[in-house]
A = this chain, B = another copy of it.
């Protein structure tokens, strides 16, 4: 059974927070509003900027601490997409990410795209894939169509052929 039913509104989370002995502060309220209203997978810095638009004094470290706590409460998850900073999103918005390593575009895809992988991992290794926390790297349609020595990546990466090697 889930110890913490996924909260679906700012007030839900604040209540959960209070019930765990936490305090409801303005920075948390605004951060949660940003999380619930804004787009998916934003970085700590982006979220801090949104919070600071309304509460200029909120420090980045406070945002980190709040994100950390919200993750501990099960409200958020964060993913490391390729290189850059981690991105945060609500635990209720579970989806996978396809991240283009050439242009950096992030594509949200439904969990069902990973169904076969999830099944295969469990069958072959007993490994239970966490679909919420998921980032798959590769090249998006646009970049894949470009020749190998494409623009975004300075590296003239020659294509390693994935064809049938044992």
Interface residues of A (CB under 8 A from B): 1-4, 6, 68, 71-72, 74, 80, 82-83, 91, 94, 98, 100-101, 107, 109, 111, 113-114, 116-117, 120-121, 124-130, 133-141, 144-145, 148-149, 153, 155-162
Contact = CB atoms under 8 A, between A and B. Distances in A.
B74 A160 contact: yes
16 contacts: A2-B160, A4-B158, A72-B158, A80-B82, A80-B83, A82-B134, A91-B160, A98-B121, A101-B133, A125-B140, A127-B140, A127-B141, A128-B139, A128-B144, A130-B137, A133-B137
A120 to B, nearest CB: 5
A98 B127 contact: yes
Contacts of A136: 117, 121, 127, 129, 134
B137 A3 contact: no
A131 to B, nearest CB: 8
B109 A124 contact: yes
A76 B125 CA distance: 26
